[in-house]
Amino acid sequence: MYVTPVQLAERPGARELAQVATRERDAIVVDELMDATLRALDRSAWSADDIAVADEALARIQEAITDADGVIDGFLARRYPLPLATVPGVVVAWSRAITRYNLHKDRLSTDQNDPIVRDYRDALKLLQLTADGKFSLGANDPVLTDPGDADVQFVSDGHVFRRDRSRRYP
């Protein structure tokens, strides 16, 4: 999992997630309950029905996270061994953007006026550049930090001038 529900509780926040992840037939989960659900905190102050609705919203959020992880893995698998040993911050940001887009996908908007669509498109562009080897995952990039890649080797085609033949030249 590249982004966690706790990280999503920080940004974009419980309110937005509750609004997009609660089923249409249910009342939108209150912000405090959604935040407690995302952070796995005590929810005993709410009714069992409210908690069930929040759990369904969390399940939809986790499904969007899983879908985002699949998209990211599809790009990264072309260049990196998966799963990544450590998840660079840029991958978390891409996962957040794709997850958020997946939760908002019924929304009508364009890149020019919607930051959610813009962030999603930017994430896909950077993922493509990463897969093509034109963008690095940063200081912890597995390709850059692989000790086998840092090995220097010299290869020669053999001697161009040999001593026995060079005696003919002054």
pTM here? 0.81
Domain chopping of the chain, boundaries: 5-166
Tens of pLDDT along 4-37? Answer: 999 999 999 999 999 999 999 999 999 999 999 9
> pLDDT digit string (tens) for 111-122?
678 899 999 999
CA dihedral 37, 39, 45, 51 (to 10 degrees): 10
Burial class (CB in 10 A: 0-12, 13-18, 19+), 86: exposed
